[in-house]
Structure 1
Amino acid sequence: MPVLNAIAGYADEMKGWRQHLHRYPELAFDCHETAAFIVARLREFGVDEIHEGIATSGVVAIINGQGAEQGNGPVIGLRADMDALPITELTGADHASTRPGKMHACGHDGHVAMLLGAAKYLCETRRFAGKVALLFQPAEEDGGGGQVMVQEGVMDRFGIGQVFGIHNAPNVPFGHFQGTTGELMASVDTATVKVTGKGGHGANPHECVDPVVAIVAMVQSLQTILSRNLSAHDEAVVSVTQIHTGSASNIIPEDGWFCATIRCFKPDVREMLKRRFHEIVAGHAAAFGVRAEVDYDWGYPATVNHEAQALFAGDVAAEVAGPDAVNLNGGREMGSEDFSYMLEARPGAYFFMGSGPGAGLHHAAFDFNDEVAPLGASFFARLVERAQPPA
């Protein structure tokens, strides 16, 4: 694979950065130590500007290319998420998490290392016009840090014209890139429903208003949204993932609750799913004589690549990994990603990069494959050089 020679020479450094970050994971917006480590490396590289405290602990760094000192040229954004997950690690690695109940189980430590590798190369070579904005983002897993960074004005403040990101993909062939020229990942909404009836003795159900049978009926009927309200040409998921009620075998409980994850790709389908969810819950509440309260949390929107940027990124990936290792029909998936907010704000693309066999994402035995880091860093660097060649 034609990894850039200079970046190949950073392989051990990137491995060291990544394994350091893996030992000290941080959650959500509380990524201050991670940010401090990133800033220290960026200062060593000689980036031109560093802006801290964005979205609480996020960092934006600017590297000037040719003509940038006169304010000329475009600005390209490259994003890496940097938060970990509330999981107890089971890898047994020498660099395993030192913080019980927290680990980098999604490879964000590797994403940071790849973007740092690209930053070092771009600072040394500066074979591009305009500027690069490096976006180190907290709270991808929980909290929507991408949305907060956009709301805090990073796109306008730094003049970003287009934006790109990549995510490691275990069990996809090593070094293979997958993406689409449109919808890539689903929106995600979460509904929590509390159902209140009248409790009592299990031997006398006629004296009670049983929330259990109401919940069971609601959960079963919610599955008809996909089979009877959704076009066969569309895709969506309504998965009830928790049901909680009761305390003993002979007591009909006073109340109970359940929650569901709701995912799709199209805004009109998303609206329909929400409407039918409320209608089905309300109808069954009336039928069973219970009270139902729905907390419907509107979450991340669908991640939708812009066609021109996706085709361009696919060409760059083919240059770095070889044309046979790039699939622009990689298929959509029902997972979600808050890079979607950046793609709503600016044209861009998001790709998956295969890291070979291993434990899956969000698994306690997951560990980022350090061998793939030079490839990802080369992809980032060549995106810049190809998108903004010097005059």
Structure 2
Amino acid sequence: MPEMVALRHHLHAHPELAFEERATSQVVADCLAQWGYEVHRGLGRTGVVGTLRRGSGPRRLGLRADMDALPIAEATGLPYASRHAGRMHACGHDGHTAILLAAARHIAEQQHFDGTLHLIFQPAEEGLGGGREMVADGLFERFPCDAVFALHNMPGHPVGSFGFREGPFMASSDTVIIDVHGRGGHGSAPHLAADPVVAAAHIIVALQTIVSRQTDPRDMAVVSVGAIHAGDAPNVIPAHVQMKLTVRAQRPEVRAALRERITALVQAQAQTLGVRAEVDYHWRYPALVNHPGWTRFARDVARDWLGEEGLMPDLQPLTGSEDFSFMLEACPGAYLLVGNGVGEAHGQGGCMVHNPGYDFNDAALPLAATYWTRLVQRFLVNQPLPA
């Protein structure tokens, strides 16, 4: 484990953004090759798959870890902090990669099974759809899996606790860019202009009714305006305003309805106020839906090892998104959480992800790696599996 912690710190100090994970994928490939895995590079541009076959068993298992960092300036002050300005592992993908590599080494050196294990190291989880790219690149045609699993660290839960939920677990995530075109003018004579700023303000307020008044309150939905860009001077009415939204849902029909309602509402508001609006709707990540049988299988692995006290109680769906959803659309499986610690100090895991002060908790590394080894052992032996 000291070697794996040192590896995690190396990855943390050298973060790479989406589809730029060349040095990270080289480290992964070198480790896997050294431990006897067949190494395949280039899936999804910078992805890596390591395959280990033993015996003649027909079972095929996939485990996935993400490798990319975020465009955030690190503020932890750690001795292994990012050496690249404006980039850091603020989501713990360095930890996820080290976890799967630690498990890979132990499995190769210590475990005996009968079947095929595929270890999937995925690029570009943070917004650019590396999971979609790997699937489109023939991931499951080249490396067939009966089931595929992935995990993510979760600050605020005790180190080594594991969380599972059947069915919809994480939300879809779509991006909407709205351009409002009016007629610019002098701020002292607004009657001679067609003000897109006022129109944008009406649109923003009206958008809030889509969730509160047009969506069944039993359905999860989010419409948030995250950016507005308009004008440069206080006495000039600009001709153009751009807004950027994130839109989230858990059910496909709600996701589709949100697109219809947002588009219609924006166009109606713009027409009423004498301006023109363009809605550029980007379908991004679908909702992550866990296969019930495989989720129960994964939960049983943790329960049999740690007991009920090792499980996160009453885990609710999350409104964040995750592009492992593309893999679960192509292959059954499950996505689970591992506790990253409670508390604010660095190394205790309390700081939430996507924060300049975040760091993956090294204490979670051996526990999560052990979980993977136990899941592999249970899957790739002659025991009944979920239908």
Structure 2-normalised TM-score?
0.95
Match status 1:115 vs 2:105: no
CA contact (8 A) 1:196 1:255 kept: yes
Does 1:375 find its partner at 2:367? yes
Q: Which amino acid aligns with 1:41?
A: C
Aligned length: 376
Given that 1:127 and 1:389 are in contact with CA atoms closer than 8 Å, whether structure 2 keeps it comes out as: no
1:98 to 83, 86, 91: 83
Structure 2 unaligned blocks of 5 or more:
343-349
Tell me the CA shift for residue 253 of structure 1.
1.1
Tell me the amino acid that sits aligned with residue 47 of structure 2: G
Separation of aligned partners in 2, 1:109 and 1:327:
23
Matched, 1:33 2:23: yes
Residue 390 of structure 1, CA deviation? 5.1
State the 1:327 CA deviation: 3.5
Alignment-derived partner of residue 246 in structure 1:
231
The Cα offsets for residues 285-315 of structure 1, whole Å up to 9 and x where unpaired, read as: 1101111111110010001100000001001
Inter-partner Cα distance in structure 1 for 2:134 and 2:27: 20
SS class of match (1:350): strand
Cα separation, 1, equivalents of 2:121 and 2:113: 21
Which amino acid in the other structure matches residue 264 of structure 1?
A: A
2:23 maps to 1:23? no
What's 1:7 paired with? Answer: none
- Work out which of the residue numbers 34, 39, 47 in structure 2 matches 1:58: 47
- Does structure 1 residue 199 correspond to structure 2 residue 184? yes
Q: Within 2, Cα distance between the matches of 1:113 and 1:390?
A: 29
**Residues 1:300 and 2:285 are matched in the alignment:** yes
1:44 aligned to 21, 34, 37, which one?
34
Who is 2:266 aligned against? 281
Q: Does 1:237 align with 2:222?
A: yes
The answer as to whether partners of 2:288 and 2:328 remain within 8 angstroms in 1 is yes
1:120-135 equivalences under 5 Å are: 120-135=105-120
Determine whether 1:80 maps to 2:70. Answer: no
Q: Which runs of 5+ in 1 are unaligned?
A: 1-10
Alpha-carbon distance, 1:329 to partner? 3.4
1:3-18 map, 5 Å: 11-18=1-8
1:344 maps to 2:329: yes
The one-letter amino acid paired with 1:58 is G
| Residue 254 of structure 2: aligned partner | 269
RMSD: 1.2
In structure 2, how many angstroms separate the alpha carbons of the residues matched to 1:205 and 1:317? 65
Displacement of 1:125: 2.7
Alpha-carbon separation, structure 1, partners of 2:308 and 2:109: 28
Is 1:168–1:353's contact at 8 Å kept on the other side of the alignment?
yes
The CA distance in 1 between the partners of 2:182 and 2:232, in whole Å, is 15
1:359 pairs, out of 342, 351, 354, with 351
Deviations 1:18-70 (A, max 9, x none): 001111110001101001011111122112x1101111110001011232xxx
Partner of 1:310: 295
- 150-159 vs 135-144, greater mean Cα deviation: 150-159
What is the alpha-carbon distance in structure 1 between the residues aligned to residue 175 and residue 48 of structure 2? 29
Matched AA of 2:41? E
Q: Distance in 1 between matches of 2:204 and 2:71?
A: 28
Q: In 2, are the aligned partners of 1:180 and 1:328 still within 8 Å (CA)?
A: no
Aligned partner of 2:347 in structure 1 is none
Residues 319-328 or 345-354, more deviating: 319-328
Distance 1:390 1:13 in 2: 33
1: CA distance, partners of 2:127 / 2:311: 30
* Secondary structure of residue in 2 paired with 1:327: coil
1:308-343 deviations in whole A, cap 9, x for unaligned?
A: 000010011123333212137300111000000011
Say if 2:159 and 2:363, in contact at 8 Å, map to a contact too: no
Are the counterparts in 1 of residues 157 and 312 from structure 2 also a CA contact under 8 Å? no
- Summarize deviations over 1:168-204 as a string: whole Å, max 9, x none: 1111122111121111100000101011111111111
TM-score (norm. length: structure 1): 0.94
How far does residue 215 in structure 1 lie from its aligned partner after superposition?
Answer: 0.3
Shift of 1:347: 0.7
1:348-371 per-residue CA deviation (whole Å, 9 max, x = no partner) reads 000110011221101111111111
CA distance in 1, matches of 2:109, 2:382: 15
Q: Secondary structure at the match of 1:93?
A: coil
Query: Does the 8 A contact of 1:79 with 1:164 survive in 2?
Result: yes
Alignment check: 8 A CA contact 1:78 1:134 kept: yes
Contact 1:66–1:127 (CA under 8 A) maintained in structure 2:
no
Q: Please give the per-residue CA displacement for 1:193-223, whole angstroms capped at 9, x wherever unaligned.
A: 0111111111111111010111001110011
Structure-2 separation of matches of 1:330 and 1:383 = 20
Q: Using the alignment, how far apart are the partners of 1:321 and 1:290 within structure 2?
A: 61
Corresponding residue SS for 2:227: strand
